[in-house]
Every structure is written in C-alpha cells, then in structure tokens.
Amino acid sequence: MIVGDLKPLAEIVSAIKEYKQVLVLGCGSCVTVCLSGGEKEAEQLSRELSQIRHYQGTPPKFEMGCILRQCEQDLVLEYQDIPAGTDAILSLACGAGVQTVADAFDPLPVIPALNTTFLGASAKPGIWAEVCRGCGDCVLTFTGGICPVARCAKSLFNGPCGGSHNGSCEVGLDTPCAWAMIFFRLKRQNKLHLLDEIRAPKDWRPGGAAGPRKRVRVGLGDGTKYGNKRT
Amino acid sequence: MTYFRVNENCNGCLACVENCPASALSFADRDGRRTLKHNMTKCARCGQCWRVCPQKAIEFQHLLVGHWDDVVTMDLIHCQVCGEPLYSTAYRQKVESQLNSTVETLCPQHRQRQAASKLPLLRPGRIQSKLGDT
C-alpha cells in the first residue's frame, strides 16, 4: 500500500493560515490503513488545527470530510460535497489523491497534509516498511522475492557491496542487507544458480526515467480506442 | 439490507456483473426472473460497476456511506463500586466455572485499591520500637 506521514503541524498551519474556511479531507484507502490520513486522522487534525494558539490572527473555520478514494476523479466529483464558503482543501491523501482532488476542483487550492513516503508492506502491527519502488521491470523472480531496487540502499543488481556486514547494511545495523537476505532465501530454495548470471545495467525508463507513466487497459473506457500500451 | 443497490433504471443487462474485477456480482435466472446478486466480502468498492452501467442505475453512494449492522448484544457486568462496564455475564460465568469460585466484579482501579487495603498497615511507632530493639 501507499504509506504516508503527517507533515509537521507548523508546516500545515503555515500553508492554511491565509484561508478562511478549510475542508480537511481524509482518504478511506491506503492512508486509512496505515493510520495517517483516514477519517479518524482527519477529525483529529481538524480539531488540532482549530486551536487558536497556532495562529497570530483568526484561525480558519474547519469542515471535515472523508471519501473512499481521493485518487479517482469521477468518484470524487460525484460524491464529495464541498461545503459552501470553502476556500481551500487540506487533503490527507497520498500525492496521487491530492493531485486528483486538485484537478477535480480546480482552481480551489488543495494542500497536502501528508508526505507520501513509499510503497510498503506491514509485517507487524504498526510497522510499515518499503519493499517496492515501482520500477516497472520486476526482478523478484531472480532474487527470491526480495527486491534489490527498494531494499538495497544502493539498488545493486549483482550481489552485495563491501558495506554488507553480518547480514546488515552499512547505512545502519537495523537495516538488513538485501543481498544477504537474497542469498540465504535462494539457498533455502536451492536456487543459488540464479546468482551466477550477471544482470545487465537496469533500464530505468519503465521506472519513470522516461517521464510520467500511464497504463491504459484494453477494452475499458479509452482503452477500447488505444489498446494496452505505455504512452 | 444490501449495500449494493440499483434504481428503477436497471434493465438486467449484466454489464456490472461482467465488468466486476472482484467477481463480487453475480446473477440467477429462475422461472423467467433475473436476480442480481452481490457479495460484500468480495467487493473492492472500486466503482467499476457504477462506471460501466449504461443505464446509470447503480446507486454507489450506499457503498460509500453505509449503515451500521448490529453484530451482537450482550448483558454486561459492572464494577460494584463505580459501575464501570467490565465484561459480559457469559464471560463471568465462564471464568467462575474455570476457577470454581465467585469473581469479585471490580474495575482495575478498585481492584487495586481493595488489594492495597488488605495489606498490613505499617505504623511508624512500631517501626521505631523495632529499630530501638536492635
């Protein structure tokens, strides 16, 4: 899922203080699950931002809302009401949600309340860790299901660097070396021969280096016209 | 009451069933009648049905703001001092039968106070006399 963290309160206050009425809008999907931008968090943030001590002048008036997914423009346009008098939206969605809402209600200013951090997985309650960078050319088949792009600090493709020490990465002892994990996973799978092949330098174009990515699904909406291709 | 609802525009074309990516919609034809079926546990609430419906018959708002279902209603045991709800009567019976004794119904705070009141009081005079003895 997409993981996000609430921005420092001072930064949010500084971004909204010029407005008179702000809609604090939670998102009901990824950021609800990672406990940073759902209905509860929107309510808490709205309550906190209403405190007069954050402002030198009059604080804005706050309204609160939450929609299942902020990243779908037709859904947002159809089902998200903007209370009369709203002059800005404070969105607790990921960057995709913030931009979709900004497009949907253009020219109403939409301010992000979260820093979108990574694509993560939760191995334990309350802990999310980055495991995928959306590089567009998945190599997990060869690496025992452990991603060297996201989980190796240097995104190496042909084994560990000299900073791998007793299974830890040189960036910090609490960061496991992805290549040590890959080696032992492949050993358990009896597939160490996969490491014999030299992996060529990665083509980063599918990972976003060739500009913003778009996926068009065949047989659905515009996909009926253009076919399934990256544009 | 189902969360997936259609209005009178639904003509049974099954566009929603065919396009549901989560296989959460189905149908049954019987005796010349068609029943549209929805499985909430499979539904991803992705809105695909609502988007593809040629009749604009799907009232997706019921999947966005739904109703509350009563799950279970139970009798409660309360703290005998402050009245704070503690647990269900069924749970008390279960614990009592396992312990083979009666459980005092006290909240953590009053249980702590009661336990403290049972401790022997240390009187300064006694301590002084004991220290003087040695």
Of the pLDDT bands very low, low, confident and very high (cuts 50, 70, 90), residue A217 is confident
* Residues in chain A closer than 8 A to B63 (CB atoms): 68
A7 CB-side CA count, 13 A: 21
Start-to-end CA distance of chain A, whole Å, equals: 25
Asked whether the beta carbons of residue A79 and residue B64 sit closer than 8 angstroms, the reply is yes
- The domains of chain A, with CATH numbers, are 2-118 (3.40.50), 133-200 (no CATH)
Choose, out of A25, A72, A75, the residue to mutate when testing the contact with B (most B CBs < 10 Å): A75
Q: How many CB atoms lie within 10 A of CB A193?
A: 8
ipTM computed for the complex: 0.75
Domains of chain B in start order, with CATH, are 15-64 (3.30.70.20), 70-118 (no CATH)
Q: Is A218 on the interface with B (CB under 8 A)?
A: no
- Identify the band that residue B67 occupies on the pLDDT scale cut at 50, 70 and 90: confident
pTM: 0.83
Collapsed DSSP state (helix, strand, coil) of residue A227:
coil
- Encoded tokens for A59: 């604080």
Helices (H), chain A: 9-16, 30-33, 39-49, 73-79, 95-104, 148-151, 178-188, 223-226
Q: Which run of H or E residues covers position B92?
A: helix B89-99
Instruction: Give the pLDDT confidence of A99-120 residue by residue, as tens digits.
Output: 999 999 999 999 999 999 999 9
Residue matched to tokens 């597939």: A191
pLDDT in tens, A152-189: 999 999 999 999 999 999 999 999 999 999 999 999 99
B103 burial (CB, 10 Å; 0-12 / 13-18 / 19+) is middle
Q: What residues of chain A, 61 to 100, have a C-beta less than 8 Å from chain B?
A: 67-68, 72, 74-75, 78-79
Residue-level length of chain B: 134
